[in-house]
Amino acid sequence: QAKFVIYIYSIYQTPLSRATYNQTHSCGELRTAHLGEEVTLCGWVQYVRQDLFVILRDFSGLTQILIPQDESRLVLKKTLCDLPLESVIMVRGKVRRRPEGQENKAILTGEIEVHANNVEVLNICQKLPFEIKDFVKKSEGLRMQYRYLDLRSSQMQYNLRLRSRLVMKMREYLCNLHGFVDVETPTLFKRTPGGAKEFVVPSGEPGRFYSLPQSPQQFKQLLMVAGIDRYFQLARCYRDEGSKPDRQPEFTQVDIEMSFTDQAGIRDLVEGLLQYSWPEEKGFVSPPFPVMTYEEAMRDYGVDKPDTRFEMKLVDISGAFHNTQIQFLREALHQPGGSIQAICVPQGAVSSTHMHFSFSHLPSDNFGPCVRLLPDVSRQQLLQMVGAEPGDLILLTAGTEGRRPLLGRLRLQCADLLEGHSVKVRDPSAFHFLWVVDFPLFLPKEDSPEQLESAHHPFTAPVPEDAHLLYSQPHKVRGQHYDLVLNGSEIGGGSIRIHSASEQRHVLDTVLQEDPSLLSHLLEALDSGAPPHGGIALGLDRLLAIIVGASSIRDVIAFPKSFRGHDLMSHAPDFVSEEDLRPYHIKVTWPEGLTPGGEDQ
């Protein structure tokens, strides 16, 4: 049944036969192997040096062009020397070895130069708000306003091209190697229950709105019912989250769903996917990834997405304080579920002067040199328990389990602070993947804790051993949800789904007390021969940001929005006239004090 196909992968293509411009090479391509060849290059003027050389740039690199110096070509020389930076030219010429001593080892084309015979100016750059040089720092606002210039930088070229390459490998793995079907699902959909963060799109019918989906969750499950046994899509998703840091109103997920599988099946698939598509210059991915339960993660790291690149785990040191006289510790231990937890920060005491300030916002009675108050024996026990060495700093919290996340955040802050003082904590080139599993299926609602809400979404199936508890003690049920964590960031999440209509109806109706009529089409679908199925969604933007080491996902998106959701280049969102809104039967309700319109109206 298998068919073999051989194809050629090349980062640069052979020039198309009839192209006018007839580029023969890219600007990063020429080597001494090309000496003597007649070549044609197209690119941007990076700079002009000594009235002798034009340095020509494209995405692939730089080539030095020697400007003809003979009397007969003074016009050409003058044109080139007067050219504004970033003008676009085409150069025809011969590849020559650079004179001895003039080689440039810093660039790959540094042994050659092109002696220009003919230069054509394709476009003169009239305006340049900033220079396209990697060392020129630009403000974020300027970068966004002139994104088309910002994208010329070698870092952004790398990021966008890496994104394309990674996604292509993912598709090869899913489509060509594993029989997945790439299916596009609609963007114009219906508001989902509780979809408070969904953008609405007015339709031509009064009062009726589409909404932009936060994920293709319903569609991917319906595709399983439809017999598309292996679905994937690079899905655009929408979430109206206002000004949350480093979120975008639209983002992309690698959306996957399979029939007749289980958690381990999805994990295997995703591990293979990342291994196959991982950029080779970033090392290797080695499956299987470690698996940790939610409980273990909270216990050892105080967070459900542990950064496992470094230790400093939380340690329960209650044992060292059995007979403590320290009031607040004793009280903490006597609470139901109370304990004392610690992390040991290697060399933290040495750097503690600097670190002190950032802790000042914590309740002061949790901190301080209280260890001095301990008897010598338990002090020794404590040091042993946390494995402290001289110079280390031990941080404690005392209280119920709810205190663990505090220590979890301190752990990360300490790592940042230490690294700020050049103490090596994490290997910046390391990629630590981790599966977190066995999440609770339901959580108490924040505003009314007697009610339950889904920890992830209402379609997650219970862990089989816990399924019977759905009908008696739903708060105790663990879900078949799994998160994929990379270097302490959640880069994916998914679950095995409920495929029984009656179980799904029970969850919606009885446990969550939601109106199941909003999902009647899904319930009907489950009743018409739904196979067991599960899936996952990987956050592509976040994954890429981690791979390239970007501090924001904006650096891996071609045209991102600003923090406030604005496109600073085109000025979206923008005012729309009343007349243009009329076909949609809507009207702007201007808040008091604000007058309609602006300069755009």
Is 375 a binding residue for a second copy by CB under 8 A? The answer is no
Strand 250-259 and strand 481-486: the pairing is: unpaired
| Residue 478: strand, helix, or coil | strand
Cα 520 from Cα 515, distance rounded (Å): 9
DSSP classification of residue 34 = G
Q: Does 172 bind a second copy (CB under 8 A)?
A: yes
Give 306 or 539: the residue with its C-beta nearer to a second copy.
539
Using CB under 8 A, which residues numbered 243 to 262 contact a second copy? 249-250, 252, 259-262
> Site size for a second copy, by CB under 8 A?
154
The strand pair at 393-399 and 339-345 is best described as: antiparallel
Q: Shortest gap between Cβ of 287 and a second copy (angstroms)? A: 11
Q: Quote the least distance from Cβ 281 to a second copy, whole Å.
A: 13
Residue closer to a second copy (CB basis): 287 or 387:
287
Is residue 141 within 8 Å of residue 157, measured between CB atoms?
Answer: no
Classify 501 as helix, strand or coil: helix
Residues within window 309-368 making contact with a second copy, judged by CB under 8 A: none
Q: Which of 92, 98, 236, 299 contacts a second copy by CB under 8 A?
A: 236
> Under rule CB under 8 A, which residues in 1-20 are in contact with a second copy?
1-13, 16-20
User: In whole angstroms, what separates CA 5 from the centre of its chain?
Assistant: 33
The answer to whether 79 contacts a second copy (rule: CB under 8 A) is: no
Residue 203 near residue 177, CB atoms below 8 Å = no
Nearer to a second copy, 374 or 526 (CB): 526
Q: 3-class DSSP state for residue 159?
A: helix
Q: Which helix (H) or strand (E) holds 292?
A: strand 291-293
Between residues 327 and 595, which has the closer beta carbon with respect to a second copy? 595
Residues from 86 through 115 that contact a second copy (CB under 8 A): 86-88, 90
Strands (E), 354-467: 393-399, 433-437, 442-444, 452-454
Based on the shown chain and the rule CB under 8 A, indicate whether residue 35 belongs to the binding site for a second copy. Answer: no
Applying the rule CB under 8 A, the residues between 579 and 598 that interact with a second copy are 580-591, 594, 596-598
The nearer residue to a second copy, 323 or 575, going by C-beta atoms, is: 575
Contact residue for a second copy among 81, 168, 373, 377 (CB under 8 A): 168
Residues 251-310 that bind a second copy (CB under 8 A): 252, 259-262, 264-265, 268-269
Interacting residues of 582 by C-beta distance below 8 A, sequence separation 6+: none
In the bound state with a second copy, the residue whose beta carbon lies nearer, of 425 and 537, is 537
Nearer CB in complex with a second copy: 82/184: 184
Q: Which stretch binds a second copy (CB under 8 A): 175-183, 366-374, 383-391, 399-407?
A: 175-183
> Which residues have C-beta within 8 Å of that of residue 75, sequence separation ≥ 6?
none
Binding to a second copy by CB under 8 A, coded x per residue (else -) over 540-569, reads -----------------xxx-x---x-x-x
Of 396-425, binders to a second copy (CB under 8 A) are none
> Using CA atoms, how far apart are residues 65 and 48, in angstroms rounded to an integer?
9
Q: How far is the CB of 234 from a second copy (least distance, A)?
A: 8
CA 27-33-39 angle, 5° bins: 45
Beta bridge partners of 116: 93
Q: Least CB distance from residue 492 to a second copy, whole Å?
A: 17
Instruction: Find the binder of a second copy among 101, 179, 336, 390 (CB under 8 A).
Output: 179
Contact present, 394 and 352 (Cβ < 8 Å): no
The alpha carbon of residue 582 and the mean position of all alpha carbons in its chain are separated, in whole angstroms, by 39
User: Which among 231-239, 321-329, 384-392, 443-451 is the span making contact with a second copy, rule CB under 8 A?
Assistant: 231-239
Considering the complex, state which of residue 40 and residue 381 has its C-beta at the smaller distance from a second copy.
40
CA dist 443 and 455 (Å) reads: 6
Between 332 and 547, name the residue whose CB sits nearer to a second copy. Answer: 547
User: Which residues between 489 and 518 bind a second copy (CB under 8 A)?
Assistant: 499-501
Strands 339-345 and 315-316: antiparallel
Element (H, E) at 112: strand 112-123
Closest alpha carbon to 118 in 89, 92, 151, 141: 92
Please tell me what DSSP assigns to residue 363. -
Q: Does the protein bind a second copy through residue 212 (CB under 8 A)?
A: yes
Contact 288, 270 (CB under 8 A): no
CA proximity to 238, closest of 169, 192, 181, 203: 192
Instruction: Using the minimum distance from each CB to a second copy, give the nearer residue, 205 or 447.
Output: 205
Which of residues 430 and 558 has its CB atom nearest to a second copy in the complex? 558
x/- mask, a second copy, residues 117-156, rule CB under 8 A, reads: -----xx-xxxxx----------------xxxxxxx----
DSSP 109: T
| Cα maximum dimension of the chain | 98
Binding test (CB under 8 A) with a second copy, winner from 56, 91, 222, 385: 222
- Of residues 227, 245, 337, 402, which one binds a second copy by CB under 8 A? 227
